[in-house]
């Protein structure tokens, strides 16, 4: 006992001395980490917001050389202090190319392949990476992040099918993949070559099945007209819900959405085609991208002469679109700031970005319109 007591006393003395030295360096001590629940306010000190912005002139050419002083960012109408602006020349590009292999895009398939391959060859630098997905019955990633020539090989190896299309699921899968695997400060872009129609995403299939079962039980109590109207209403609600879910995936990944619709002028034929394009219009508008809608000419006419002529014109149209897309990507800036607002997790926050300079008329500024507050 007498031998152990001094030893214990010595240990306690050193522990107390060590604790005293810590508090001498930090008079208030180190507080425990704050655990934030879904309905609690997010600590603004750690909430970095990245706003992709593209600035092009009246000819569609990129406006380069802009810095932090060139931009103003308003978050819910409150001005934010920009901490960094990175331009396309200094920031690597992470592009996910989504190729629709369903029968709905079959007539222009080969031309889309070759033009997309040339686009990647022109736009990608050694530090850039491309990921290739197919939009078919289910989302399939044919190639994870890789260099240009490997991506071109993958694109040229694609074959069209007659499958259903899981458009929403594929866009969400691509956005999630970029969010997890691409560098946080890279320029993350989805380019979808598709008509935007969805017949096979999980939310669509499940929702439609539930609606058919529920409304089917009412078939004896409502008229045929009421049944059809109710069915259309419920199906549109499901499509809208899936559209919102997919948009959130894009926003959560800081991903800019671009699309090229091979259906062209056929959109006037039915409501489903119009809704497909409206999906892509909304995704592009909300994230700062563009939904291109070319007016392709028919290439399945009886006259070979007319078909060949239309093929040449369609090819030129595709080249022009990819040229515009290349310019927009070269005109991209990443505007970054720490929000000085406090919001609960998952709240959607409006963001408006302006260019302060007295630039010539015809300048186009595209930027994301908002984001969902992420849980810390």
* Per-residue 3-state assignment (H helix, E strand, C coil) for 73-136: EEECCEECCEEEEEECCCCCEEEEEEEECCHHHHHHHHHHHHHHHHHHHHHCCCCCEEEEEEEC
How many domains, the chain?
3
pLDDT of residue 44: 44
**Can you tell me the distance from the alpha carbon of 191 to that of 170, in angstroms, rounded to the nearest whole number?**
12
Map tokens 């019955």 to a residue.
137
Instruction: Give SS3 for 57.
Output: coil
Same structural domain, 149 and 245: yes
Considering only 19-28, 45-54, 176-185, 270-279, which range has the smallest mean pLDDT? 19-28
pLDDT digits over 231-242, tens only?
A: 888 888 999 999
pLDDT digits over 169-219, tens only?
A: 999 999 999 999 999 889 999 999 988 889 889 999 898 888 888 776 666
Q: pTM for the whole thing?
A: 0.82
The domain containing residue 60 runs over which residues?
44-88+335-372
Same structural domain, 272 and 289: yes
If one compares 224 and 242, the residue with the highest pLDDT of the two is: 242
- Is residue 227 situated within a structural domain? no
Same structural domain, 178 and 319: yes
Same structural domain, 107 and 252: yes
Same structural domain, 245 and 125: yes
- Is residue 123 situated within a structural domain? yes
Same structural domain, 170 and 291: yes
pLDDT digits over 269-305, tens only?
A: 567 788 889 999 999 999 999 999 888 887 778 888 8
Same structural domain, 267 and 198: yes
Instruction: Give SS3 for 65.
Output: coil
Segment 93-107 shows an average pLDDT of 82
- Is residue 219 situated within a structural domain? no
Look up residue 260 and give its DSSP letter. E
Q: What are phi and psi of 185, to 5 degrees?
A: -105, 20
pLDDT of residue 9: 43
Question: What's the CATH number where 131 sits?
Answer: 3.40.50.410
pLDDT digits over 323-375, tens only?
A: 999 999 999 999 999 998 888 988 999 999 999 877 667 788 999 999 999 87
- Is residue 48 situated within a structural domain? yes
Task: State the pLDDT confidence band at 19, using cuts at 50, 70 and 90.
Answer: very low
Strand ranges in 126-244 using DSSP code E only, listed in sequence order: 129-135, 139-146, 187-193
pLDDT of residue 266: 57
Same structural domain, 76 and 190: no
Same structural domain, 142 and 176: yes
pLDDT over 90, % of the chain:
44
C-alpha angle 159-260-106 in degrees, rounded to nearest 5? 30
pLDDT over 70, % of the chain:
82
Task: State the pLDDT confidence band at 255, using cuts at 50, 70 and 90.
Answer: very high
The pair of structure tokens assigned to 70 is 């060139």
Same structural domain, 187 and 324: yes
pLDDT of residue 185: 84
Same structural domain, 272 and 353: no
Same structural domain, 193 and 315: yes
Considering only 21-25, 73-77, 292-296, which range has the smallest mean pLDDT? 21-25
- Is residue 228 situated within a structural domain? no
CA distances from 330 to 32, 260, 325, 346 (A): 45, 18, 9, 31
pLDDT of residue 360: 64
pLDDT of residue 350: 95
- Is residue 187 situated within a structural domain? yes
Considering only 78-87, 219-228, 269-278, which range has the smallest mean pLDDT? 219-228
- Is residue 217 situated within a structural domain? no
- Is residue 225 situated within a structural domain? no
The pair of structure tokens assigned to 148 is 């240009």
Contact 163, 101 (CB under 8 A): yes
On the 0-12 / 13-18 / 19+ scale of CB atoms within 10 A, 371 is buried
If one compares 80 and 162, the residue with the highest pLDDT of the two is: 80
Segment 111-140 shows an average pLDDT of 91
């Amino acid at each position: 006992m007498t031998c152990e007591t001094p030893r214990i006393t010595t240990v306690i003395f050193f522990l107390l001395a060590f604790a005293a030295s810590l508090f001498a360096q930090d008079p208030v001590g180190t507080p425990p980490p704050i655990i934030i629940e879904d309905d609690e306010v997010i600590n603004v000190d750690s909430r970095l917001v990245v706003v992709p912005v593209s600035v092009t002139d009246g000819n569609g050419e990129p406006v380069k050389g802009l810095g932090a002083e060139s931009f103003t960012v308003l978050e819910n109408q409150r001005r934010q202090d920009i901490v960094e602006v990175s331009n396309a020349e200094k920031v690597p590009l992470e592009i996910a190319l989504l190729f629709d292999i369903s029968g709905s895009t079959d007539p222009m398939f080969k031309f889309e392949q070759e033009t997309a391959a040339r686009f990647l060859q022109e736009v990608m630098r050694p530090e850039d990476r491309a990921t290739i997905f197919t939009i078919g019955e289910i989302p399939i990633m044919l190639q994870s992040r890789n260099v240009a020539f490997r991506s071109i090989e993958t694109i040229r190896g694609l074959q069209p099918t007659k499958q259903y299309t899981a458009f929403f699921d594929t866009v969400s899968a691509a956005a999630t993949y970029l969010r997890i695997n691409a560098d946080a400060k890279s320029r993350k872009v989805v380019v979808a070559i598709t008509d935007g129609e969805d017949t096979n995403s999980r939310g669509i299939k499940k929702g439609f099945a539930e609606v058919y079962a529920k409304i089917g039980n009412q078939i004896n109590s409502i008229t045929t007209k009421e049944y059809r109207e109710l069915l259309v209403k419920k199906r549109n609600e499901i499509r809208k819900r899936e559209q919102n879910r997919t948009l959130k995936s894009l926003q959560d990944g800081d991903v800019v959405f671009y699309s090229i619709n091979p259906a062209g002028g056929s959109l006037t034929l039915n409501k489903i085609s119009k809704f497909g394009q409206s999906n892509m219009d909304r995704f592009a508008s909300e994230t700062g991208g563009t939904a291109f809608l070319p007016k392709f000419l028919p290439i399945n006419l009886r006259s070979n002469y007319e078909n060949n002529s239309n093929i040449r014109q369609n090819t030129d149209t595709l080249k022009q679109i990819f040229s515009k897309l290349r310019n927009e990507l070269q005109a991209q800036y990443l505007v970054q700031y720490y929000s000085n607002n406090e919001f609960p997790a998952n709240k959607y926050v409006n963001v408006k970005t302006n260019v302060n300079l007295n630039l010539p008329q015809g300048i186009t500024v595209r930027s994301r319109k908002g984001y969902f507050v992420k849980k810390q």
